[in-house]
Amino acid sequence: TDVKSFPDRKNASVDRFTFGFTIKDSPDFFINVTAWGNDRYITGLTNSFSIGDCVTIENALISTKDLEKGDRFSPATPSHYRLLVTEAHSLVSLCADMDTTDRLLPLIHLPVKDSTDFYPLGDIVANGQKLDGSVINILAAVKLIGETKQFTTSDGRKGQRLEVKLFDDSVSSFPLVCWDREAIQLMQTLIPKETLLFIADAKISFDSFRSSMVATVNSRSIITVNPDTKEASLLFSYAKEVSESGALDQDETPEYVPVESITDVYTVRQLKQKAQENPEVFFGITFSFISKLDLDSSVSKVIRTRCSRCKFLVSVDMLSCTNQLCPGRDQVFSTTTGFDLLVDLSDHTGTLQACYLRSPVAEKTLGCTVSIIKTGVRGTILACSLAHPGEVKQHMSALLQH
């Protein structure tokens, strides 16, 4: 948890500092630890390890839990006790024994609650405000990680906030809010659409501004990344399928953006930089050429069939869409077949690898339909909108010089 400070009972002019963490050394048992000391000691200690590290704790004091005081703000554990770490008596360090570390680290992927005890996102949405204020468990995949927002409170304290979008097979987007520094740092290391989370004791509340439910990570929450459970394995298979189909991207993208309204021009380097700084969808123009176009790969990688409503990948012989989130599941099933190409785009600043070039834009770019694939397109200049001839000449001159 984040570091907090309190006036010393014996000397009100001096602050005492504290933070808490939770340790685990077996599949079923874990315990809370509270560290106390001066600013220098506590700040140094909290910066010396993170979630997922293996630590050695020496000379910790064993204390009985007090659920009426500080322990009610800590994660629920199966133990009646907690550990106290103090500057004068205790030592916390990273574990140096690699055998011990290798034995313990797999435990980080085992949830601290029953793997079947969680709310699907669809049930949270369906229950709505009935769950307002509840503390529940959630199993979901990471869809999008937003930017960390820094702020200062009215009394001068600095804080931070990060919002993560989750999804499962019942809901395509659900907000999870993090306030603690450690939780935010953990989220920033995750790979969207490839990471699953089991969040024990997340707080559910109704956000009146959005008129929807929101989950929040608090001091009682424990996050398990990529849990090693049957339920997580099934959800991971779904997440991988829906991610590869492009249905998640379709959900986040505005339905229609007029091409003539897109005016921002980017080099490849600028596109990469903006994508790293801004996880939200954005639009722009780049003067590039196709440096890689694998038309000679297998047909299944070049031409694909999708549900005409949700754009989920399907087989030609399917009778219904397999996407649980498809808005047309109760309607007559229809499909579209078109190009689904991976191309590299290059200019004088670098290369954008594995860009999607899909129908109907692919047909216009290549000048053919899915039934006629032309070869020999290396060196073709890709133009997504009409540009002023002077601009094209200027950018092409830069390309030729490099």
Q: How many domains does the chain have?
A: 3
Which of left, alpha, beta for 379 (phi over 0: left; psi -120 to 50: alpha)? left
Asked whether residue 365 falls in the same domain as residue 293, the answer is: yes
Co-location of 54 and 178 in the same domain: no
**What is the rounded distance in angstroms from the CA atom of residue 18 to the CA atom of residue 12?**
16
193 in a structural domain: yes
User: Is 229's pLDDT higher than 50?
Assistant: yes
Residues 375 and 280 in one domain: yes
Report the range of poorest mean pLDDT among 163-167, 375-379, 390-394. 375-379
Q: With contact defined as beta carbons under 8 Å apart, do 266 and 283 qualify?
A: no
Query: pTM higher than 0.75 for the full model?
Result: no
Burial of residue 298 (number of CB atoms within 10 Å: 0-12, 13-18, 19+) = exposed
Contacts of 89 (CB under 8 A, 6+ apart): 59, 61
Share of the chain above pLDDT 70, in %: 85
Q: pLDDT band at 67, cuts 50/70/90?
A: confident
Q: Tell me: do 127 and 172 sit in the same domain.
A: yes
Alpha-helix residue ranges (DSSP H) falling in 173-298? 181-188, 230-245, 247-252, 268-277
Give the model's pLDDT for residue 376. 37
Query: 187 lies in a domain?
Result: yes
Residues 337, 304 contacting (CB under 8 angstroms): yes
Q: Same domain for 265 and 234?
A: no
53 and 130 part of one domain:
no
Report the alpha-carbon distance of residue 47 to residue 52 in Å, rounded.
13
Instruction: Print the domain residue range for 10.
Output: 4-107
Q: pLDDT-based confidence at 381, cuts 50/70/90?
A: very low
How far apart (Å, rounded) are the C-alpha atoms in residues 305 and 31?
A: 51
